[in-house]
Structure 1
Amino acid sequence: MLGKEGDAGMDLGRLGVWVPTDRLDTTGLRALLHLVEQKGYGTVWYPEARGYESMALAGFLLANSTKLVIGSSIANIYARDAFTARRALATLNALHGGRFALGLGVSHIPMVEGLRGHQYEKPVPAMRAYLDGMRKAGEGAPEGPVLLAALGPKMLALAAAQSDGAVPYNVTPEHTRQAAQILGPDKILAVEQKVCVETDKARARALGRQELARYMTLPNYVNNWLRLGFTEDELKDGGNDRFIDAMVLSGDAETVKQGLRAHFTAGATHVCIQPVTEEGDARHRDAMLAALADT
């Protein structure tokens, strides 16, 4: 079982930062890494979308930091075969002091079929087969943690059985509670949470809707929000206020911290915050990271 070969004991720290890396050039990435490390966050998480390739980017982020764990959230399983993923995990940890966590996900139909030209398979069987391939690709000493982008109960059960944990995205503390129960006490549960330290609620919600728009048409997220009790009406037209407030914690810093702590109370082992700002507003982003670092 891959989970037994991995390293669920890697210290991600209490808090991490989720970074939309495709929006940043090398100067911006280095500046953000420096700030995140300076403020005491444990991990930087990054996606794989239309820009930077995941493993090459991980090498850059590791080379330009000293203590941070760098985690893919997520590397698309359709972007490289299982053998390559296993060797990338081993290579990055061997060359960078064991600071890389491999988060894997099935991504979404537009990113798989429309962008890459692959056939999108049923998510759980596809991930199970991929993990089987990774297991066959390596033997011996642990090479680093493998985590799954798991939202539904079946993918969470697979994460519990065959990986070191889960990296849920666009979720609520109720989902965190359910995920923690399925994963059990010995797994990593690293939860992403969007935040906006902004006391003007209308402005915060407008920023939230702008940030969430790209996710509102993706069935994997929509189905999970419906499972969590949001209604189809609440998800229409960019999402109603209740939905937006759940997805993007807003208010003053202490109010946002309370929302982050709710994930820990629900069973998260690590929470990675994603600041939501106007496009390119590094000053607001950095102020949020400074204000929330002691959550």
Structure 2
Amino acid sequence: MKLGTIGIWSWAFTHGDRAEARDAAAEVEELGFGAIWLGGTPGGNPRGDLVTAAEILQVTHRTTVATGCVSVWDTTPERLAAAYHALPPRDSARLLVGLGVSHADFVDGYRDPYHALRRYLDALDTAPAPLPSTARIVGAHGPQMTRLAGAKSAGVHPFLVSPAHTAWARSILGEGPVLALEQAVILETDAETARAEARAMLARYLRLGNYRAAWLRMGFAPEDLSGGGSDRLIDALFAWGKPDEVAARLTEHRQAGADHIAVHVVTASPEAFSRPAWRELAAALL
């Protein structure tokens, strides 16, 4: 699966206007980004598992299309594998299926997520038409999930992480498995404004136990997770400033062991496409 070094991650592909999603995807490919990540909110993707992916694959030719992420609670492994194989081979060859265990806040009967994910990955292997391990990636943050992802998928796709987490994840994965992280970006040079935008986006995630546990594991204190997030937390999770400052953060991730970075330009609405910002970043990053 060819992801390239830099991709674009956006909620707009799954939550915004469908016609613009197709047009925007074609532009992302033309700009030279290696992958298009179809962001889903913690509560799920309103357009189904691979519906949007199929539409984006049809209007692109080279770029990898990845889901970030399909919840293992929302669809059976057999159905997901069948949807993957229903695509034309030329399209499925460019599809990376991101999988995640979601959160207890959104799933009735949420329990034992590690074993639920293991069973799901095993079932993908034994489906009538298996979904290849090389065509799936896991949204993992903790050590057990990260090791499982490295053994049973292409690698990991962590969300809202710092370069320190990237170095830690690489140490867990070792060489070989893909480390393809999301990096939240705000093209704003005023610290107060940038941090306010970051806190608005971060608010929903600060309530979720899985993310809080991951940040505490990475050395943040409970007080860093209160009041909308401390400046220390915000500055670690978000790259804000001019494009060259964003580029410097991406370099930190690469030096820490990242193979691919999915750039997520933060917007006030999940339906908004960030096309001017993508163009500006392409000039600085590619």
Could you tell me which amino acid in structure 2 is paired with residue 12 of structure 1? Answer: L
> 1:43, 1:70 within 8 Å by CA — same for their partners in 2?
yes
CA separation of 1:13 and 1:73: change in aligned 2, threshold 3 A: same
The residue aligned with 2:20 is 28
SS at match of 1:111: coil
Partner deviation per Cα, 1:138-187 (whole Å, 9 max, x = no partner): 46895852111110001001112221111111111111111112112111
> 2:81, 2:129 within 8 Å by CA — same for their partners in 1?
no
Whether 1:146 aligns to 2:136 is yes
> 2:17, 2:271 within 8 Å by CA — same for their partners in 1?
no
Give the drift of 1:278: 3.5
The CA distance in 1 between the partners of 2:38 and 2:23, in whole Å, is 15
CA separation of 1:183 and 1:280: change in aligned 2, threshold 3 A: closer
The CA distance in 2 between the partners of 1:123 and 1:173, in whole Å, is 25
The residue aligned with 2:81 is 86
The residue aligned with 2:258 is 268
SS at match of 1:221: helix
> 1:102, 1:144 within 8 Å by CA — same for their partners in 2?
no
Whether 1:258 aligns to 2:253 is no
In terms of mean alpha carbon deviation, does 44-53 or 236-245 score higher? Answer: 44-53
Question: Which of 266, 270, 275 is equivalent to 1:286?
Answer: 275
TM-score for the superposition, normalised by structure 1: 0.89
The CA distance in 1 between the partners of 2:75 and 2:270, in whole Å, is 31
The CA distance in 2 between the partners of 1:58 and 1:166, in whole Å, is 19
SS at match of 1:265: helix
Whether 1:238 aligns to 2:233 is no
Whether 1:107 aligns to 2:102 is yes
The CA distance in 1 between the partners of 2:83 and 2:96, in whole Å, is 11
What is the RMSD of the two structures over their aligned residues, measured on CA atoms?
Answer: 2.0
SS at match of 1:44: strand
Following superposition of structure 1 onto structure 2, how do residues 141-290 of structure 1 map, counting pairs within 5 Å? 142=132, 144-279=134-269, 285-290=274-279
CA separation of 1:109 and 1:93: change in aligned 2, threshold 3 A: farther
The CA distance in 1 between the partners of 2:48 and 2:11, in whole Å, is 13
The residue aligned with 2:8 is 17
The CA distance in 2 between the partners of 1:280 and 1:176, in whole Å, is 26
Percent sequence identity over aligned pairs: 34
> 2:133, 2:154 within 8 Å by CA — same for their partners in 1?
no
Give the drift of 1:93: 5.7
The CA distance in 2 between the partners of 1:164 and 1:138, in whole Å, is 21
